[in-house]
Amino acid sequence: MSTEVPPRPRRIRWWLAASGGTLLVAIGWAVGLWWFVGYAGRAVRLPPTADGIVALTGGATRIETAFKLLVQGRGQKLLVSGIGRNTDLTALANRAGLDPAPFAERVTLGRNAGSTHGNALETATWARDNHIGSLIVVTAYYHMPRAMTEFTQAMPDIRLYPYPVLIDETGTQDRPVPMRLLIEEYSKFLVATAGLTAWLPDREPPRDPARGGRPE
């Protein structure tokens, strides 16, 4: 009597292979998310001074932080990218507790960006027009990896220094940023890393003067 075990049906082998592949993808995604959270919140060291500073709108804290860096002499010029159409320099400076008059010639309000990819393109044009060779990028920490990816692709010849804002309107020290938002940002980061955001339709530029921009 033969004791040979019959081969498994092809359908079972296919199912096992598909399940194993799915599991590997899920593990890789989870490890990537763990790396993303650590990378986003890492400490940075700024240069003594840079040619420029750019603040990506989406929260007032980002703009206030960028103004403080400008006052400290960390950058020579400031671009606020993606600002609402009805928001002016006076409102932004007052929000940061500053007199706008000394900054009139040093601050540019960019009103054309409706996405992070748009921020990068708007900043690249501003940097070229203002002969910017080094740039401090200010945005929320969870948004920084995607922003740096887009900026590096748009400005490969400019030295970029991330300055993540750890707390803004989406979280406080008592209530951290929701995991849902981190997962969403990680997914968008993967799309940006693949270079696919250039193919996505851009949103309309922001119009909300109360926030100074649109959510990321």
pLDDT of residue 127: 97
- Tell me the torsion sign for CA atoms 104, 105, 110, 116: negative
Residue 36 is assigned to a structural domain of this protein = no
CATH number, position 49: 3.40.50.620
Beta-carbon contacts of 191 under 8 Å, excluding residues fewer than 6 positions away, are 197, 200
Residue 211 is assigned to a structural domain of this protein = no
Mind listing the pLDDT tens digit of every residue in the chain (216 residues)?
555 545 556 777 676 666 667 777 777 777 777 777 777 767 678 888 999 999 998 777 899 999 999 999 999 999 999 988 888 898 888 888 888 888 889 999 999 888 999 999 999 999 999 999 999 999 998 899 999 999 999 999 999 999 998 765 554 444 566 778 888 888 888 888 888 777 666 554 544 433 444 445
Residue 137 is assigned to a structural domain of this protein = yes
Question: Are residues 105 and 130 in contact, defined by beta-carbon separation less than 8 angstroms?
Answer: no
Q: How many CB atoms lie within 10 A of CB 17?
A: 10
Residue 185 is assigned to a structural domain of this protein = yes
Beta-carbon contacts of 89 under 8 Å, excluding residues fewer than 6 positions away, are 100, 103, 104, 107, 109
Task: Give the DSSP letter of residue 179.
Answer: H
How many domains are contained in the chain?
1
Beta-carbon contacts of 175 under 8 Å, excluding residues fewer than 6 positions away, are none
Residue 4 is assigned to a structural domain of this protein = no
Q: 81 has which bridge partners?
A: 56, 110
Residue 186 is assigned to a structural domain of this protein = yes
Distances (CA, A) of 89 to 125, 133, 173: 20, 24, 29
Residue 12 is assigned to a structural domain of this protein = no
pLDDT of residue 16: 63
Residue 15 is assigned to a structural domain of this protein = no
pLDDT of residue 145: 92
Q: Name the residue range of residue 105's domain.
A: 41-199
pLDDT of residue 172: 47
